[in-house]
Amino acid sequence: MATHTLAVLVENSPGVLARVASLFSRRGYNIDSLAVGPTENPKVSRMTIVLNLEGHALDQVSAQLFKLVNVIGISEMKDTDSLKREILLVKVANKAATKEIAKKHNVSIVDETASTISIEAVGSSTAIEALLTELKPHGIRELVQSGLVAIERGANTLADRTLSTMGTANESESISSTADYQN
């Protein structure tokens, strides 16, 4: 069982999320998490997909994904050369112990009632997991987590590698692409 994180640049067009979801569903690829949002280019959205690949090769998944006309570029975000973050919002009992844990993990208390506190944490999957492990014995009232987002370390950008020219709203109409996995 291998987990991989893919950063996928897609055209910001209606139905693109459905196309990606439909592809993963019909080909039997398991998604652990998926986060999608805007990028520096209003025409382009970015998906971060965490995949649990069992019996499927990563380059096959990428090749199938790249066949979608709206997919512009794909890159694997490896642990060694990328930053990965998740957001956690968790509601726990308002007591000294839980506040102490929040302090220890250097995360914010963003809401407080007589009986509860809401903690916001941003961090790697490991950091989030460590926080939750400590909070668990005190009872977790409610928990919500975002999908993972990832960005490459260093000066390189995914757009540099996948788009030869980045169009912006004011710039050229056309943007051309290649996927760096190809061939």
Partner 1 sequence: MSKVTGAQSLVNALEAAGVDVMFGIPGGAILPAYDPIFDSKIRHILVRHEQGAGHAATGYAQATGRVGVCIATSGPGATNLVTPLADAQMDSVPIVAITGQVPAPAIGTDAFQEADIRGVTMPVTKHNYLITDPADIPRAIAEAFHIASTGRPGAVLVDIAKDALQKESTFNYPKNISLVGYNPVLVPKQESINDAAALIAQSKKPVLYVGGGVIKANAAKELMQFAEITGAPVVTTLMARGAFPDSHKQHLGMPGMHGTVAAVTALQKADLLITLGARFDDRVTGKLSTFAPNAKIIHADIDPAEIGKNRHADVALIGDLKNILQALSPATKSALAKSQPDLTPWLDETYGWRSKFPLGYDQPSDGSVSPQYVIERIGKISGPETIFTAGVGQHQMWASQFIGYEKPRTWLNSGGLGTMGYAVPAAMGAKVGAPDTTVWAIDGDGCFQMTNQELVTCALNNIPIKVAVINNESLGMVRQWQTLFYNQRYSNTDLHSKRIPDFKLLAEAMGCVGLRCERPEDVDKTIEAAMAINDRPVVVDFNVHRDAMVWPMVAAGTSNDDITVARSMAPVWDSQEL
Structure tokens at 72: 């512009």
Instruction: Report in angstroms how near the CB of residue 179 gets to partner 1 at its nearest.
Output: 9
Strand order in the sheet with 44-53: 30-38, 44-53, 2-11, 71-76
Question: Which of these, 56, 78, 70, 65, lies nearest to 158 by C-alpha position?
Answer: 78
Query: What distance separates the 2 farthest-apart alpha carbons in the chain?
Result: 60
Which residue stretch of 118-126, 135-143, 150-158, 170-178 sits at the interface with partner 1 (rule: CB under 8 A)? 170-178
Q: Which two tokens stand for residue 96?
A: 């000294």
C-beta closer to partner 1: residue 70 or 94: 70
Quick one: DSSP state of residue 134?
Answer: H
Q: Does residue 18 belong to the site contacting partner 1 (CB under 8 A)?
A: yes
From residue 80, how far is each of 103, 118, 153 by CA, in Å?
A: 28, 32, 9
- CB 76 → partner 1: shortest distance, Å? 16
Min separation Cβ 15 and partner 1, Å: 7
Q: Is 182 in the site for partner 1 (CB under 8 A)?
A: yes
> Hey, what are 76's tokens?
């694997």
**Identified binder of partner 1 from the candidate list 88, 101, 107, 175, rule CB under 8 A:** 175
Give, as ranges, the residues between 40 and 99 that touch partner 1 (CB under 8 A).
Answer: 57, 59-60, 63-64, 66-72
Binding site for partner 1 (CB under 8 A): 10-11, 14-15, 18-19, 22-23, 26, 57, 59-60, 63-64, 66-72, 163, 167, 174-178, 182-183
